[in-house]
Amino acid sequence: MLLFASAALFAPVLSPYNPLSQNLDQDLITHSAQHLLGTDKLGRDILSRIIFGARISLLVGASTVALSLLIGVGVGSISGYAGGFVDLLLMRLIDILMAFPGILLAIAFSAVLGPGLDHVIVALALIGWTNYARLVRGEILSLRERDFVHAARALGCRPTRVIVLHLLPNLLPPLLIQATFGVAAAIVAEGSLSFLGLGVAPPTASWGSMLNEGRQFLLVAPHLTTYPGIALVLTVLALNLVGDALQDRLERRIR
Amino acid sequence: MKRYLLYRAALLLPTIFGVLTLVFLLIHLIPGDPVDIMLGETASAADRQELRQVLGLNQPLLVQYRSFIINLLRGDLGQSLYERRSVTSIVRARYPATLELALCAMIAALVISFPLAVCAAVRRGSWTDRTTLTVSLLGLSMPNFWLGPLAMIIFSIQLGWLPVSGRGGPDHLVLPALTLGLGMAAILIRILRTNLLRVMSEDYVQTARAKGLSERSVWLKHALRNALLSLVTIVSLQFGGLLAGSLITETIFSWPGLGRMTVQAIEMRDYPLVQGCVLVISLSYVFLNFVTDIIYKWVDPRISYGN
Amino acid sequence: MPRSLYFFPAGFVFIFFVAACRPTHVDHPPGYLVAAIESYPLQLDPRYSTDANGVRIGNLIYNSLLRADPQSRLQPELAESLRLLDERTYDIELRRDVTFHNGQPLTAADVKFTYESILDPNNRSPKRGNLRPLRAVEQIGPYQLRFHLFAAHSPFIEQLTIGIVPVASAVNPTAPGQVPPGSGPFMLEAAESGEKITLTRNPHYWEESPPLSGVVFRTVPDALVRVLEFKKGNIDLMQNDIEPDMVPWLEKNIGADVGAYPGTTFQYIGINLMHPILKQVKVRRALAYAIDRESLVRHILKGTGTVAAGVLSPLNWAYEDNVEHWPYDPERAKQLLDEAGFPDPDGDGPLPRFRLSFKTTNIDLRQRIAEAIKEQLERVGIELDIRSYEWAAFYSDIKKGSFHLYSLAWVGILDPDILFQLFHSSSVPPAGDNRGRYANPELDRLLEAGRATTNHEVRRQIYARAQRILAEDLPYVPLWWWKNVVVKKSTVQNFIPYPDGEMISLKKARLATTVP
């Protein structure tokens, strides 16, 4: 059930390769039935926008998590492995960032960097990496004293090698699980950024920005939000269920 | 124990300090000049220079930072550039509203998630389990700014049960708290359920079962207590998210809270006000973390903490 | 502990039902009109308030020497008579029957104090720049005073619309919600930060006491929620900031009184005249031809605007209609672009003639307009790169001149001298708002003359010529004048809309008692 749901939603990424006109059919009509899901305020076909929006939303989700992982794993492993003062320092840094309201960071980045998809990804990644860092650090701390690590060091492996080749693979399961949830969260967070006016710039559409654009029309044209909303909810649901399933399976293996 | 307390308290200071420094840097470094926004169009360059001088904005960043910290230690958060009142009085007026909302959202989330997680864990793998998870995730996957107005339309306009927006009696709290709390409830359910399941398969629980204790008391005595512990930590972590994320809910529900004010202040580059708001929010978060750490340590001395 | 767990869901359900059964309470006293505003006023003290809602609510609490009427003409309020002794001296006689809300009579000393308070640099009033032409305020008698200017400056008269506060009013409020007492039709009863401002009727008002017992200004930030609150009956009146598509819906579905009235707020596209392509007037005219303003107003604004010819709207006394209008003509636009030396490299193909960036704020409606314009310009071969920013960053950019095109609106236009601020070559920021760096010596001369003379007819002719020049030269591409949209319950009577969204007519408005 879970795998099926997620497959169904990754499919839309494939279909935009056929040129379903994202092209702004500027009839300026809302909602007609000749367009399968209607049109938006500027006469653009909603179905096409949802399909293209899938690309953007999923891209944002995946890249954000990828970047977050990169930073988080890096910082977390250094912190966990090195220990001592370095650890203390880095953990303070993480504490500071976590105590900091994310919106302020997002606004600050948007103000400095300006609009743009890549800036959105950077902003979201910078808010979210701390979770991964903590996770990695925790695991490394507990694994650090295990035999196989001692063995590796005795053999003269450099610390980076130890981390990458020996410690990290043990982290893959929990990281993967968190990452799945992370993608879902990033997609929704992008919507929140759109609410603040800091999401993807027009005329690019992501599901989040479509929801934001359409929410003022909730009473006159609910289809503007319903369809992207359903797409978003289903995808996030699927991602979360996949994560849950992974967790169940992988946890069982560890036990 | 005492030593641990002191240790943790000592760690608080650099964290808060770091937050303050960060917010100071950020707000001063992003483009946009509050003097321009305040004086608008007709002021001359001389006027602007004058205002900058009065506000102390033309001094080098380091000097401004120093006076900021010194004033802070004296308890003076400065004056809002626009409202011309002390930041402390403004923040004091708005903070309770956010706190009220966040607390109620938290309670709502707990109340919803606890029984559901227990159900799901007990009947693990069954349809109840699956549907509970799926339904709970709905709250997490629908953005607040969509969920909120939808809830308003259904519960306030069509059913007429609740008011639309604004702060007032307990009925005004229901919709915003639910909107804010549902997302957290989903996360809580998942975590609680996992923890419960994990605990249930621990050795000492198996032993208890083997000893002949009823399933129910096994659950109650062991599983739940451990679950509660992890709950405490998660709750404190998420609370920070609630405080910061209340912004959207506050805007939609016309809730006169700190979240919305922070964003407005940022938009207008009202430096002292932004600093004050962020300070309060971060302080709450840090303090809460501190308290939960203590509780955790106190309740379960088995867990060792530290390097 | 275990048993108590079951209390949780039970307790919650209980609370829910209690809440559901309790009647949704009406949170304002009877006889009070509830108006919705989209943001809480930052400052009510008329010496310092610059935010729109602060000014509008302030105008109900305070009186000023002159006041703009619904036709945008200045009328006497506190000033019984205004005479020009010479071209730089204004002699004013005050009414004698005005008292502040605390019972004190309003005299010339209060007026003098108010203006000096603004001029005092220690008070850092944002309005100080506006009073730069003012040299001194002289009190002649208890109800007579003179304003001495440095030089003749006819637009100065607009500065006589600042609210008057009593002598010795505190510079800054010492408590939240504390403002100096005013003399206006309403008094400040309560100010709940971020939530609402409650005004109550002034029973001793020198005009007649308002029919309304009071007014509650509720802050409802989200436009959709405002509509929902209106539908629920919690709001009696709201002006503007409504999604244009909701306006017909409100009329149809709720039976609200909806009206769109002529306004003075001017929406335009600002052009950077230092840009190598945009400095050519043919390119600018092509832009004007290429944008279908009619269509934008009809579809996106849903009729809540009027296609504009220039900065000054027909409501303005100096409005000149006989200027170049630029009807929608994409063929002509293409022709001009060809003539200007920017041919379309591939005919009707996807390659553009050139690319320009278009900066806008990140408000939905503005972005939508930008996207529509982008589409229209694409049809004539110009590619637009839309960049949306949050306000402060946007503002900072356009002041620096770091833009190609941007769109913004001018609010509260009263005196045609605003053209000086916008187009005189000396008005480049930070000295003024000539962000596009427009420089036209002929226009400069006209605008300088316009503010130096006080002869009304001469001024009118000067500004007529100025408007003609601006319409031909197009440093701005004019888009439209926003209409003032008022949505109210039918129980609200006697509310007269003012062109810039003022709420002053609340002093004459009344709430009819409904027949259920």
Kindly write down the DSSP assignment for every residue of C93-121, as one continuous string. Answer: EE-SS-B-TTSPBP-HHHHHHHHHHHH-G
CB C296 within 8 A of CB A42: no
CB pairs under 8 A between B and C: 175
**Residues of chain C contacting A, Cβ within 8 Å:** 223-224, 227, 243, 245-246, 249, 253, 295, 299-300, 361-364, 367-368, 370-372, 374-376, 386-390, 392-393
Q: Residue B147: which residues within 8 A CB-CB, separation 6 or more?
A: B139, B179, B182
Dihedral of CA atoms C284, C290, C294, C296 in degrees, nearest 10, equals -100
User: B87-122 vs C7-21: helix axis angle to the nearest 10?
Assistant: 120
Higher pLDDT, C405 or A58: C405
Cβ–Cβ below 8 Å for A101 and B281: yes
Task: Sort out which chain C residues have CB atoms less than 8 A from A197's CB and list them.
Answer: 361-363, 388, 390
Strands C214-219 and C32-37: parallel
Backbone angles phi, psi at A176, to 5 degrees: -60, -45
pLDDT of residue A217: 86
Two tokens at C436? 């596009």
Q: What is the pLDDT along chain C (516 residues), one digit of tens a residue?
A: 334 344 444 444 545 544 444 334 445 678 899 999 998 888 899 998 888 899 999 999 999 999 999 888 899 999 999 998 988 899 999 999 999 998 899 999 999 999 999 998 888 788 888 898 999 999 999 999 999 999 988 889 999 999 999 998 887 765 656 789 999 999 999 888 888 999 999 999 998 899 999 999 999 999 999 999 998 888 999 998 888 888 888 888 877 889 999 999 999 999 999 999 999 999 999 999 999 999 889 888 888 999 999 999 999 999 998 888 999 999 999 999 999 888 888 776 778 889 999 999 888 888 889 988 988 898 888 999 988 888 888 888 888 889 999 999 998 888 899 999 899 999 888 778 899 999 999 999 999 999 888 888 999 999 999 999 999 999 999 999 999 999 999 889 999 999 888 899 999 999 887 544
> Are the beta carbons of A211 and B26 separated by less than 8 Å?
no
Q: What is the mean pLDDT of chain B?
A: 77
Pairing between β-strand C476-482 and β-strand C484-488 as defined by DSSP bridges: unpaired
Best A3, A98, A236 member to test B by mutation, with max B CBs in 10 Å, is A98
* Nearest Cα to Cα of residue B174 among C195, C39, C14: C14
Residue of C nearest to A214 (CA): C364
CB atoms near residue C485 (< 10 Å):
25
Mutation pick from C247, C362, C380, C406 vs chain A, by most beta carbons of A within 10 Å, is C362
C219 touches chain B (CB under 8 A): yes
Chain A contact set for B16 (CB, 8 A):
99
- Are C487 and C228 spatial neighbours (Cβ–Cβ below 8 Å)? no
Which range among A175-184, B126-135, B283-292, C47-56 has the greatest average pLDDT? C47-56
Using 50, 70 and 90 to split pLDDT, how confident is the model at A84? confident
Which among A93, A99, A91, A97 is positioned nearest to A127, based on CA atoms?
A97
Residue B128 main-chain phi, psi, to 5 deg: -55, -45
Q: Is the pTM of this model over 0.90?
A: no
Q: Which residues of A touch B285 (CB under 8 A)?
A: 98-99
Q: What percentage of chain A exceeds 70 in pLDDT?
A: 75
Q: Which residue has the higher pLDDT, C477 or B122?
A: C477
Q: Which of B155, B238, B145 is nearest to A232 (CA)?
A: B145
Q: Where are the beta strands (DSSP E) in C150-277?
A: 186-192, 196-201, 214-219, 237-239, 257-261, 266-271
Q: Do the Cβ atoms of C224 and A218 come within 8 Å?
A: yes
Whether omega for the bond prior to residue C416 falls within 30 degrees of 0, making it cis, is: no
Phi, psi of C409 (to 5 degrees): -135, 150
Q: How far apart are CA B158 and CA C298, in angstroms?
A: 32
CA–CA separation, B12 vs A249, rounded Å? 39
Contact check, Cβ <8 Å, B164/C234: yes
Neighbours of chain B (3+ CB pairs under 8 A): A, C
